[in-house]
Amino acid sequence: MSHDKNEPIPVLRPRLPSAECILPYLRRIDDAGIYSNYGPLAREFADRLAGYVAAKIDGPSLPPAVLTCNGTSAIEVALRVRALAGRRYCLIPAYTFIATAHAVANAGLTPYLLDVDAGSLMLTPAIVSRALPSLPEPPAAIVVVSAFGAPPAVAEWEKFEAETGIPVVFDAAAAVTSLEAIGAQPQCVSLHATKVLGMGEGGAILSRDKAFLKQAEALTGFGFSGAERKSVYRGGNYRPSEYAAAVGLAVLDSMDEKLRLLKSIADRYVQACAGKSIRLQDGVGARWQTMTFNVILPPDRVEPTLARLDERKIEWRRWWGLGCHTHPAFSDVPYGDLATTATIAPCVIGIPFFDRITPAQQQVVMEAL
């Protein structure tokens, strides 16, 4: 099948399970007459999600995930539990999706922006260690962000937390299917339609720390702990409904198939980029899958390449923009040296990537690059 040159190529087209696939789960809601408050479908989804992730990382079984209504609130809840009391700043990478900064602010903290590593596009313990002495005061927590679904370096951050006492929370929003390890430090994931494991809106927190999970779950339901309707923690309502859980269960039913498809599409781009001056994120396609496939262009090739993409009606996106400090809502937050962010952010370009993209369309994209 050849590609019609007048037909634009979209950058992302999410696809969730069909109504037929969700229907059996909806019937279970009708039968049970339970619609929210950790009903049977939410419990099953929390359990199956943890089982799915544990099986993928080939590790011991995980406690059920704490479910939230979206990924942003998962980060907020984890921070509310973990951030050190009496401290103001939460360190986050300047280069992230802006949701990270919102979650930090909603948890009552001020984002303090740090640079990212040019290789991984992520915060590293070395970057934080270098910044610590120049901070106005010690931080309450750190949010380490997985770049577009790349697996975070869990062991390094466990070591860092053990040495410094600064709690680490992972914004692994796009990484639920690519996590390679899960310890006590919470992994907050997004199940938004545009993520690999997308269910519309949804989020989850994975961790091996049962006491943390218990408190985090209490926070998602007004801080009620135990059977008594007594609010023990300040939280809110972050719960997903049973209808959301129904979609989530249907998503898990076809997850492996979707991952295989995304891998074959990613592999085609990876092969086409081999030997070219276009850099890709380490391991993408081979080790982990994403819905926001990026090319990292040499700085002098960005503008001409974008012009060619526009000319050929190939949609592209800077998924994370140019850094949190460039958004008006966060232009007043403090930050450290952001030299790498300033250099690399303009060069990271999301290219068309979705399950129904054809090899012919991918060929057109690669020619334009």
Ligand X SMILES: *Cc1c(COP(=O)(O)O)cnc(C)c1O
**Which residues contact ligand X by CB under 6 A?**
70-72, 96-97, 99-100, 145, 171, 173-174, 190, 192, 203
Question: Closer to ligand X at the Cβ: 200 or 221?
Answer: 200
Least separation in angstroms between CB 155 and ligand X: 21
Least separation in angstroms between CB 164 and ligand X: 23
Question: Closer to ligand X at the Cβ: 203 or 352?
Answer: 203
Dist CA 88 CA 140 (whole Å): 6
Question: Closer to ligand X at the Cβ: 291 or 365?
Answer: 291
Least separation in angstroms between CB 178 and ligand X: 12
Least separation in angstroms between CB 100 and ligand X: 5
Least separation in angstroms between CB 115 and ligand X: 16
Dist CA 69 CA 206 (whole Å): 15
Dist CA 203 CA 69 (whole Å): 6
Question: Closer to ligand X at the Cβ: 90 or 173?
Answer: 173
Exposed/middle/buried for residue 363 (C-beta within 10 Å: 0-12, 13-18, 19+) = middle
Phi, psi for 205 (deg, rounded to 5): -120, 125
Question: Closer to ligand X at the Cβ: 95 or 212?
Answer: 95
Least separation in angstroms between CB 124 and ligand X: 16
Closest by Cα among 212, 228, 294 to 220: 212
Question: Closer to ligand X at the Cβ: 100 or 185?
Answer: 100
Closest by Cα among 239, 240, 235 to 106: 235
Helices (H) and strands (E) in the chain, counts: 12, 9
For residue 268, how far is the Cα from the chain centroid?
A: 23
Residue number of the CB atom closest to ligand X:
71
Q: Tokens 């926001």 belong to which residue? A: 292
* DSSP code for 132: G
